[in-house]
Amino acid sequence: MGGATEMQSQDHVARNREAWERMAADYVEAGHASWASDEVTWGIFSVPETQIRMLPNDLAGMDTVELGCGTGYVSAWLARRGARPVGIDNSPAQLETARRFQREFGLEFPLHLGDAERTPFADESFDFAISEYGAAIWCDPYRWILEAARILRPGGRLSFLGNSVLLMLCSQADDEDAPVTEKLERPLFGMHRFSWGDGAVEFHIPHGEMIRLLRDSGFEIEDLVEVQIPEGATTTYPFVTPEWARRWPAEEVWKARKR
């Protein structure tokens, strides 16, 4: 890979750290509510776990890792179900919030400052890896999925949730807050890196590419859930309406198992 392209392909980690240092304060209240609740729900419409089943049935005794853990509430839910969670996140401010909540709720587990594309963990350290809008959208899949495969034990499971491919195709260029339309606003072919006006960078790839990437990284795919929100569900995010998300999947969940 040439120098300029290589630099461009690496700079998202620094850019996303800057963006999350700015955004962290906006995530304290929602993070606190999720720590305080024992009901597991997912994504921007709070879809119940019973509908999409991100988690293994029995977490007791499992070593788990949350890739891009933010304020850490997912790992707190895992801990309360008997797992031994570890979180990693790229933003010191997000981890500071997570540590404050750990003290408040009396639930401590290891939190690492670092890049989910290059973690400090040994090979085959975990039984389950999860990301809800963490590495799932902020890391380059061609890096973080290989890293997840490295740190999972054979038979270990990976679940991740983020914006759906369809939603990204209907999103208007360069403004992450503009509501998605009912038109294909962007090409599918070549989709990978999305740069926003605030400097943040996200990644979304077509389903066929994700299937090949997961398989080539050593995973068997167990499911792809195109999430339909329950009737009456709402969101505080401006970029998609409940009406849209009742008709099309605003979010998708991938579940895979390491061979």
Ligand X SMILES: C[S@@+](CC[C@H](N)C(=O)[O-])C[C@H]1O[C@@H](n2cnc3c(N)ncnc32)[C@H](O)[C@@H]1O
Choose the stretch contacting ligand X; rule: CB under 6 A; options: 48-56, 68-76, 162-170, 222-230: 68-76
Choose the stretch contacting ligand X; rule: CB under 6 A; options: 86-94, 102-110, 217-225, 248-256: 86-94
Residue 250: phi and psi, rounded to 5, are -85, -25
Report the residue closest to ligand X, judged by CB. 70
Site for ligand X in 11-50 (CB under 6 A): 13, 16, 20, 27
State in angstroms the smallest separation of the CB of 54 from ligand X.
11
State in angstroms the smallest separation of the CB of 70 from ligand X.
3
- Beta carbon nearer to ligand X, 15 or 185: 15
Which residues, in sequence order, are CB contacts of 249 under 8 Å at separation 6+?
A: 164, 166, 167, 226, 227, 228
Q: Helices (DSSP H) in the chain: which residue ranges?
A: 3-10, 12-23, 28-36, 49-52, 73-80, 92-105, 135-138, 141-151, 165-169, 207-216, 242-247
Site for ligand X in 109-168 (CB under 6 A): 115-117, 132-135, 138-139
- Beta carbon nearer to ligand X, 161 or 256: 161
Spatial separation of the C-alpha atoms in residues 89 and 13, rounded to whole Å: 11
Number of residues lying near ligand X (CB under 6 A): 21
- Do 116 and 139 meet the contact criterion of CB atoms below 8 Å apart? yes
Residue 91 interacts with ligand X (CB under 6 A): yes or no: yes
Binding site for ligand X (CB under 6 A): 13, 16, 20, 27, 68, 70, 74, 88-91, 94, 115-117, 132-135, 138-139
